[in-house]
Amino acid sequence: MLLKLLSYPRSILATLLLPIHTVISSAAMIVVTFVYPNRWLEDQIVYFWTRVTCWMFGVKVVVKGWENVPKGGYLYVFNHTSFFDIFAMSGYLGSFRFGAKIELFNIPVFGWGMRRAGILPIARNRREEVFKVYKEAEKRIANGERFALAPEGTRQHQETLGSFKSGPFIFAINAKAPIVPVVVKGAAAIMPKGNWIPNWGVWTRTITLEVLPPVDTSAYTIEQRPQLQEHVRNLMLPHFPDAK
């Protein structure tokens, strides 16, 4: 009961501090990428931003299936229910960059930091622009970079698996990049869509990230994209009994 009572002021304080923490982390990313571009150092800034955010709100992260993470460039695909999907994965699944909706890049300092970090700007209603971004990212995957995209396209209101959009799978086929499915459990309870104060009334919660075996895309053509899309979704589906 005491921890529950303490969680309310904790969550309010952490919510007020998060923008400050984000601005500091974003400014550090901007400075580092201009003065001394170094991927390892940039990753440390990402880890600092995301792990401290999880700590501020009492969020623990457990990773399962590390042995399934391949070497070289690949694409994570994950079920998306909360902003804490982003914090958990960015903090605890190694070096990679997300695709984020382009509107976030208009936020002063934070948006500039995202661009400098190499986050992919996704204009969800402008298909041609999205595929231009994917085309440019193909070279980065060939050089060993990793990315993460939400195939559902947007956050779901419940911890379920929505229908998949084609973009991430076209990207993976063109880039000849393995697809690594990630099942995220627990993030929706921390900060569901439409909620702005994480972990309200709960002192601590755990997010579980389960990395499933990678899917080789090299044998797939663009015409076979629907089969690849269905195959990946079917791999994730057993983890969501209520999904169809």
Residue 6's CATH number:
3.40.1130.10
At residue 169, the pLDDT reads: 96
At residue 97, the pLDDT reads: 97
Question: Token pair of 150, please?
Answer: 């939400």
- 156 falls within a domain: yes
DSSP three-state, residue 144: coil
Average of per-residue pLDDT values in the chain: 94
Mean pLDDT of 17-23: 97
At residue 2, the pLDDT reads: 86
Instruction: Give percent above pLDDT 70 in the chain.
Output: 99
**105-119, 123-137, 146-160 — which one is most confidently predicted on average?**
105-119
Q: Read off the pLDDT band of 154 (50, 70, 90).
A: confident
- 244 falls within a domain: no
For residue 85, pLDDT over 90 is answered with yes
| Positive/negative CA dihedral, 143, 234, 83, 65 | negative
Q: Read off the pLDDT band of 172 (50, 70, 90).
A: very high
Contacts of 128 (CB under 8 A, 6+ apart): none
Domain that holds residue 176: 2-239
* Helix residue ranges per DSSP H, 57-193: 83-92, 110-117, 127-142, 167-175, 187-190
Percent helix / strand / coil, the chain, rounded to 5: 50, 15, 35
Question: Are the beta carbons of 80 and 154 closer than 8 angstroms?
Answer: yes
In this prediction the pTM is 0.94
At residue 42, the pLDDT reads: 97
Question: Token pair of 13, please?
Answer: 């304080």
Q: How many domains, the chain?
A: 1
Rounded Cα distance between 15 and 196, Å, is 8
Strand 179-185 vs strand 205-211: parallel, antiparallel, or unpaired?
antiparallel
At residue 127, the pLDDT reads: 82
Q: Read off the pLDDT band of 94 (50, 70, 90).
A: very high
- 162 falls within a domain: yes
For residue 244, pLDDT over 80 is answered with no
Question: Are the beta carbons of 113 and 26 closer than 8 angstroms?
Answer: yes
At residue 123, the pLDDT reads: 87
68 by Cβ neighbours in 10 Å (0-12 / 13-18 / 19+) ranks as middle
- 172 falls within a domain: yes
